[in-house]
Structure 1
């Protein structure tokens, strides 16, 4: 594609980013349906995107389309983080580190320039959120220890800009952006098994969400902390946080929020050993997932779409926690998309749930083969969360004469130091 063509330049200059997408898509021989499939939206949503003219755009959808079509971000009004593509496509770690080191500085330029009194403030917060989204997408293929430092630098930038904001509306929008960045910092600390820092950052995310006045965002952050506390063994606190999140949503929450929160609640009930309550929460999540409209992008702060495969993956995990092997077996096919996800760390955790179920049925070779694959992922990404889950699975097997598969697993596990 000739990025300097007159048609592309005119559309970009006028702010008609949908026309830029349309021109590039046609030149590449990609149909609207194919682009929609790649971006997780419908053909009609692509059509609406391309026909928006100079109206405001959903920046997350625009970023997905630009990424798939390899459009330079500047041509569609986005911060230039093109180097992220190399990291997401599995290029050499040096390229990924270069991107991580430079992202905060790259984002700072347009953001600080936007502090001019005549700037459009909504774009300032949105630009910061685009950077957070880019970091979140990198999480699946990047060790948290590499990602944590640039995310914290990005968060400090948001805090500085928020402190300089004068109008209450501007501070509220920037507080929302800061809430999402703090939540990501908490997620990364959780993956590194830094429990204290994770709890601190999740708490900061909730506080900033409340400052923003965004009830949906507040519910999201309460649910995120609920998932963390449940995983840390604080089941009662996790369930209390879920109830608070439900109250924030009320009866008019979007389907993706109620579906996702239903899975968080189901996991907490399963951790507490309450099968009926876990099943009821899963059923509610399924009904909410049925109500999702594919042509609509997930509302911020969700970055990824929510599917029935994710509900099935939660049922699989609940089955592992409750010792219900039939739940695991029945959910495995439906959860196949999650088991083949490009988010390797999440896939490894799901593999450990499968290994737990196999261990419960005495299938030692299969259990420790799966656990070994998950352990390799944990070591590669230096994920303390995965390693600790693998250690927990090993502790659950107490034979004094372990077979060869278990001894080989022990050899690998004992050689990992994070």
Structure 2
């Protein structure tokens, strides 16, 4: 068998493909069949099977350099917890020499967090929040146990805030809301102690996002406004644009169309001013594509689904093959728009596209969004053939 020739167990193939071990077992036993040619091509890519052997024509979906690179990255990502969360974390050259902290050690932590953000954009936060938590614990030990001067103390509190903000975001994407809130609270305290207003704004905008998600739009609006006040002065334009977008989303959730669109206009104008800036790793995806996606989310809350679909398509076109986690999230968002517009066939077609993208991503937030779409469209038209086929496809991939 091809899987065994690659030295993979059913569980390992399942992790690589995004399926459960039991689903892989049923597929191999013939109890289930791969749903359509997109699923077959996915296995052909993973296992290096010539497409013709699966009854598929050679075409643009055959394995090329980009797919090979993505596969390698995913294999490396699946090994990340063992590499970073276990004994190898202890081997990082992070321990202080004679209980003194150096600037080089602080830079090393920042480099590690930047690498985690890059992985997050590719795959999602499910397998990252624990690693970020270990880094946070390390910095906290430095603060409590080591010797340093006032300048280094501010640096340590700043890097603690950065790590906590990252851990909070990864936990949020992993669907761990209580854990995310705890990290955000720690990050905000550290940013205050670092006397860094931009860092405080960064954490506040994360908290605004979470508050909106949890159905607390007034809290989200207050946090976004607080973040905007904190950005007055020398904050990065991209951060200011992101905070303005958070305000717009809070207004949209509250049903205030005018206020939401005014805030979005400010966000777009500010982002345009930041085009030549080199963003930090955590803001790397704050671009025109992401802004369109956030604007689409506001339009959904305001009930303007055709406009939301148009903006979401713009986001997906701009992202292309970059940022797979965000691409999956917005693909589901586009399917939701079509469903709300009453176009069930197109909604299901886009939903199938999302299911094919699913194996690349480990983001509970995105999976939850996909499950919610499945449940909504099933309730809307349980007997429609296209809906039944989509639900069957969901079952094959474990959704």
- Residue 338 of structure 2: aligned partner: 358
Partner of residue 343 from structure 1, selected from 290, 313, 323: 323
Alpha-carbon offset, residue 223 of structure 1: 0.3
| 1:317–1:350 Cα contact (<8 Å) kept | no
Residue 149 in structure 1 maps to residue 124 in structure 2? no
What is the distance in 2 between the residues matched to 1:114 and 1:366?
Answer: 61
Partner of residue 126 from structure 1, selected from 102, 107, 112: 107
Residue 190 in structure 1 maps to residue 172 in structure 2? yes
Alpha-carbon offset, residue 141 of structure 1: 3.1
| 1:338–1:347 Cα contact (<8 Å) kept | no
- Residue 411 of structure 1: aligned partner: 392
What is the distance in 2 between the residues matched to 1:308 and 1:143?
Answer: 20
Structure 2-normalised TM-score? 0.73
- Residue 269 of structure 1: aligned partner: 251
Residue 161 in structure 1 maps to residue 130 in structure 2? no
What is the distance in 1 between the residues matched to 2:307 and 2:336?
Answer: 12
Partner of residue 241 from structure 1, selected from 201, 219, 223: 223
- Residue 267 of structure 2: aligned partner: 285
Alpha-carbon offset, residue 102 of structure 1: 2.9
- Residue 72 of structure 1: aligned partner: none
Alpha-carbon offset, residue 415 of structure 1: 6.5
Q: Which shifted more, 101-110 or 207-216?
A: 101-110
Q: What residue ranges of structure 1 are gaps of 5+ in the alignment?
A: 1-85
Residue 312 in structure 1 maps to residue 292 in structure 2? yes
What is the distance in 1 between the residues matched to 2:108 and 2:312?
Answer: 39
Structure 1-normalised TM-score? 0.70
Distance change (3 Å), C-alpha of 1:160 and 1:301: farther
Partner of residue 180 from structure 1, selected from 162, 166, 169: 162
Report Cα offsets for 1:279-336 as digits up to 9, x if no partner.
Answer: 1111001110121151x322x5744163223222222222223221342254246424
Distance change (3 Å), C-alpha of 1:311 and 1:107: farther
Q: Which shifted more, 175-184 or 384-393?
A: 384-393
| 2:338–2:346 Cα contact (<8 Å) kept | yes
Residue 144 of structure 1: SS of its match in structure 2?
Answer: coil
What is the distance in 2 between the residues matched to 1:344 and 1:94?
Answer: 15
Considering only aligned residues, what root-mean-square deviation do their CA atoms show, in Å? Answer: 2.9
Q: Which shifted more, 221-230 or 246-255?
A: 246-255
Residue 231 in structure 1 maps to residue 221 in structure 2? no
Q: Which gives a bigger RCO, structure 1 or 2 (Cα 8 Å, sep 6+)? A: 2
Count how many residue pairs are aligned between Structure 1 and Structure 2. Answer: 329
